[in-house]
Structure 1
Amino acid sequence: MLPPVSVQSPCFPILSLVRRFDLSSSGGSDGIVLQKVGVPPSSARNVASFSERVDLVLFPCKLGDPAQPIGWPQTNQQEFTVMVNDRFITSEFPRCPSRSASHRTLAGMPLSSFLPKGPDGGIAAEAELKILVVRRGKWTATFLLAWCNVIEPEVIIDRTIARLLREPLSTPAKANEWDSPSSSASAAESAAGDSDIDVDSGWVDDKADNTHNSGGRNGRKSADAPNLPNGIAGDNGVQDGEAVVTLRCPLSYGRMKIAGRGNHCSHLTCFDLLTYLSACLQSNSWNCPICDGPVFIGDVCIDSTLQAALEGLDSNAFSVVLFGRDHKEWRSVEGATCGSDEESVDGCEVMMVEEEEEEEINQQEKQQSECPSLPLTT
């Protein structure tokens, strides 16, 4: 039986399962031997145009539970050794986070580079395959060998972004729509020390945003909204009920290009969609970098409010003020209202340009009136 689609890697959709073997604590090694790998299943002939090839892929899972991905250990931990056709594998392992709280998909290792090629460029049907896994530490796993479509990460990212741009843009979910232990602040803090991916849950640029923790819409402390008394504005003109939100991505620390988040996330802060997809496809871990909840490739969406702010503000603006019902309206931190997710950004830009031109004309007229006219000399 195939693993559920929900845990399959977007880069390696499984066509058929070839073999399964266990590396348990009772044995020091295990593996498989195939005299002939054969041909891919007939379904592989109907490969979509965005799939470049069909390959044999090896996946590690939790011992006895192929539906639960575990990822490959770090090679420097020296917990295991893998040999394919008498060749040691040292650099082909997918990069995986070490923390156990990650929301994972299967981490696949293609084997075509270790097998002879046929006339069509694929794996030769007569190729022999020998896989040997030797356990040196406490690591145990169930291995799945499967025929898979192979789709490059760049293709997946392009198709995902194109699909999201065609769909209606989204706004943050309401409170308590999704809550799980993995999204709590304590879980995020305990997992942060064990993670080897660049994820800092709840990160906000304090210097740029000048914000403090306050009660978020989900009932938890949030770095999205400043803590101000009723009716009192901060140094940047932020009123009670408004939120200063960073435009920096918590993964790249650069200004976002496409504001993304999870469909079930209730926080206002977003991540850069391209950066997030690239990191997740590489690590096979799909944790929201803000709330640590599961955000798989089918759960991502574009936040309409922050996306409008990104397009409407200057490229050197790294924070924005959100206000109104469900924080769907936005303005610059300096105080100029620029609209909401339902208004045209172009109209806002035209209005700002007209105001600047009018101010420049008034300034020129004022300078001319203050300068005395000088008599002509001959």
Structure 2
Amino acid sequence: MSTKREEKVETFPLWKLPALARRLVFQQMDKRDLMDLSMTSRPVKKFLTAYKPHAVQLTWLFDGSYATTARRSKYAEGHVYQYLTVTLTFGNDEESEEEDEEDEEEEEKAEKVENFNFYILRDPSVKRDYVRTINGVKAPLAMRKRKNPKEFEIAGGKERVVDLKFMEDLTQHFKSIFYIDIYNVTLRAIREFDFFGSFFWKYSGKKFGKFCTFNKNVKFNEEQMKMICNELEVDYLRLSVVTDCELIHGLNLNSKVLKIWNTGYLTIEDVLESKCEKIEIIFPEGLNVDLHLIKTVTYWKTGKKLKNLKRLNLETGTFNSETRDEEQNSFFEKARSLGIRRHEWDEKKCYINRDTDNTVALLEFDGWEFNMAVQEKR
């Protein structure tokens, strides 16, 4: 009596391929599956460590702000909150413009970028979907995939030191299997956190793509402010911090994009000496027409300073409606001596040419906020 032969299931001979061909296979693989395999298969992790199929950006987010981080967990009643996040960004090789610009080119770039988020939640009840190994050790916190194919959630919230160690372990794991070409960090409202003693400095060193702080719970001293401005190499620097410092002399503002709030420690001379392309500054004591505005326009017009500038925004921290019109009129009256040309229809705007190359800048001042946009040559 003959028996039906069992059909042999053919599998893809991945490990029989040459190393280069195998690397191409991993490059084409779904990125979430690739990251998951790196945590469940030692041969895959070993191969990725040797050949690193992708270049990525890695971003750390330290955030205790419940208002902006609410996330619903399948396993928890009510809402739980992520407060530590590691984000991997793929496909961001091209230089990107500022976040809030939404022209067609930026939208096309955004479509090419993929962000994969690993959220450490304030929710120890999250159940793991299966066991993962990170850096050769069983993951100490439960991790599971979300319905969103680009998100993972991790059971944290019991001890911050454990959560931060897990965040560091994830960083080391991804550093071993990918080329990390840019590191970014954002600090938001998180209490009792040693920002300058945190683990991420040993990975990024003093070079960041983006370095952003929005934290009223951490006070920066003069030495730390000087370190940020004078020692870090940052493309996009955004500071909104609490500090007791008065004027700090000798600050170097050389990031490509600079946004600073709470700037009692900053002078207009620091701004004029900067090499930045895009600047946003709030002066808490208010804007002075002569000291801040006319002086800035004069130096730009003569070509002596702000040679790299593309856009400048200066804003007052004190809003006085009674003097607003007076300040606006005073600026345009004094700017006439610099050779301004009034805007075709908007009385709050005017044009000015730079003496050295005839480049045109559009100026706008409403009594509270000053904008200067250098026009592209056609």
- Between Structure 1 and Structure 2, the one with more strand by share is 2
Instruction: Return the TM-score normalized by structure 2.
Output: 0.23
**Does 1 or 2 have the higher relative contact order (CA < 8 Å, sep 6+)?**
1
- Normalised by the size of structure 1, how large is the TM-score? 0.23
Rg comparison, structure with higher value: 1
Higher helix share: 2
